[in-house]
Amino acid sequence: MTIPDVPIKDEALLSAALRHRSAVDGNIEQSYERLEFFGDSILGMIIAEYLYEHFPSWDQGKLSKAKATVVQEAPLAETALKLGLENYIELSTSEAAAGGATRASILADVFEALIGALYIEQGFSMTRWFVLEHLHPYLQQVAMGDIGMRDYKSRLQEVAQARWRKTPTYRLTGERGESHERAFEMEILLDGEVMGKGFGKSKKEAEQEAARDALEMIARYDSQRGHKAQDKV
């Protein structure tokens, strides 16, 4: 099996990078999960290196926001779709029927798994080229100043640091469904108080949704304070 624009030659390694856990009867070693874990780290390093080299005037905070903008779920899933990976992902019958091949969390995971597989087979130089080639549109986006627009976690952290000099923490509060149709629930805590809740088909997605809920709660609170101040005038 070969995939256009994916330069992995080892068919067994490529197949593993495309195999969802639902297709292996619980044998995680045969699914893409370990490769996805590895590829996630390689991806983060490549993007961090690129941003460090190309934007010497940016401070740590801006670099972190730019990195989060590029490596979050949506851009990775969009890139996977551009590569046509949804046509090659191996899923169980039920997961395929539920539309798993076009689910953003799965597409993003598969893209990261391919990065891990490519690094194992061909090393850093080829992997770096592959990542920068296919994520170029998102790197251009951050170069033009479009940073953190969909990264609710980074926006919430900025707000919390500015207002309270504290960092929110995330807590997994629930999981639902079978292993191949899992849904996650996350809470955000600040000083032990729940600021927001979110649900998603991956932990990352649930965290983003919880952060968005918290930002909306802060906006409602600010709006109410504004109305009360006007009423007193």
Identified catalytic residue from 36, 40, 73, 95:
40
Any idea what DSSP says for residue 189? E
Location of structure tokens 């290196």: 49
Active site residue 73: no
Element (H, E) at 16: helix 11-17
Active site residue 5: no
86 by Cβ neighbours in 10 Å (0-12 / 13-18 / 19+) ranks as middle
Location of structure tokens 């990078």: 17
Identified catalytic residue from 112, 187, 205, 209:
112
CA distance 200 to 105: 9
Number of continuous H segments (helices) and E segments (strands) in the chain: 9, 3
Active site residues: 40, 112
